[in-house]
Structure 1
Amino acid sequence: MSILFASIVATVAMTIFSYIISWWSRKNYSEPYWLAQLIYKPVFGTTSLSFILGWLTHFLIGYLFAVIWIKSPLIDASQDWRYLIVGAFFGCLGIFSWILIFLFSQKNDKSFIIPYCCQLFFAHLVYGITLINFI
């Protein structure tokens, strides 16, 4: 399968996981929503452009993560447990990135950021499992 296709499927699976956790917790943990709110809304306002750019950015990051994984000489892709490495690595990278985004925005409420980052780690495990199974 192509890297692009695998990254799209993995990003969709991760996002579905985040929507399920959002529904269960009654908090919005949607990555594209927060990308739109924290990065694009201050520039473009509350417009459909912010919403579209949030989604495009989410898929672009998913694609870049897939390319990084495929090109990494440090990973032995023949190991069955590799999805845990993929998910954990990108989960930590994603959490670090989101902490920076939240710290430089108006939404720096720890009571939201900590559970958001926890669900984000598990969402990236879903991403990793899905990515490995579609590559």
Structure 2
Amino acid sequence: MMEKSLFKKIVYPALSATSTMTMFSYAVSYLVNDQFKEPKLLSSLFLSPGRQKANEPPVGGFLLHYLVGMIFATVYQLFWKHIFRFPKWKDGIIYGTVCGLIGMLTWKLTFTLHKSPPDIKLKSYLFHLLIAHLIFGVTLTWTERKLGRKS
């Protein structure tokens, strides 16, 4: 069984932040009528290129997306533990921006190198990704603050 402190320190904040970011992406996808859903894109790029049905839930894409969220939350936790005394809102904005830039670079590289990437408006998606990661960073900070941990 997972240790309670590990769940509280990493898993809970990662689930909160990744879920909030994903809901934002799904809402933007709906509003702009384009494919900005990270789990769906991850699934189509890496797990089942060309084989996934339109209405099939991208289970593997969700798992990949939450795994990456867990990694980003773990790195944030390490920074928080060693640098930040108590996470401030600006820390979340800065960390979200850094994660967003890493995400933009990674997605751009992935779309460039992939032999058959999904047909989306990539520049719009990359801009959306920066905002989505700002939401991720702020939600991560909010969760840390709600947990009330001090250094």
Structures share a fold, TM > 0.5?
yes
Distance 1:94 1:21 in 2: 17
Structure 2, unmatched stretches of 5+, are 1-7, 145-151
Aligned in 2, Cα 1:35/1:108: closer, same or farther, shift over 3 Å? Answer: closer
Q: Is the 8 A contact 1:37 1:50 kept in 2?
A: no
1:23-64, Cα deviation, whole Å (9 max, x unpaired):
11110100000000011113x932799821111000000000
Matches within 5 A, 1:47-126: 51-72=58-79, 75-78=83-86, 79-105=88-114, 106-107=116-117, 112-126=121-135
* Higher relative helix content: 1
Determine what percentage of the aligned residue pairs are the same residue: 29
TM-score, normalised by the number of residues in structure 1:
0.87
RCO higher in structure (CA 8 A, sep ≥6):
1
Q: Is the 8 A contact 2:41 2:118 kept in 1?
A: no
Matched residues, number: 133
Distance 2:110 2:36 in 1: 14
Counterpart among 29, 33, 38 of residue 26 in structure 1: 33
Structure 1, unmatched stretches of 5+, are none
CA RMSD for the aligned pairs?
2.4
TM-score, normalised by the number of residues in structure 2:
0.78
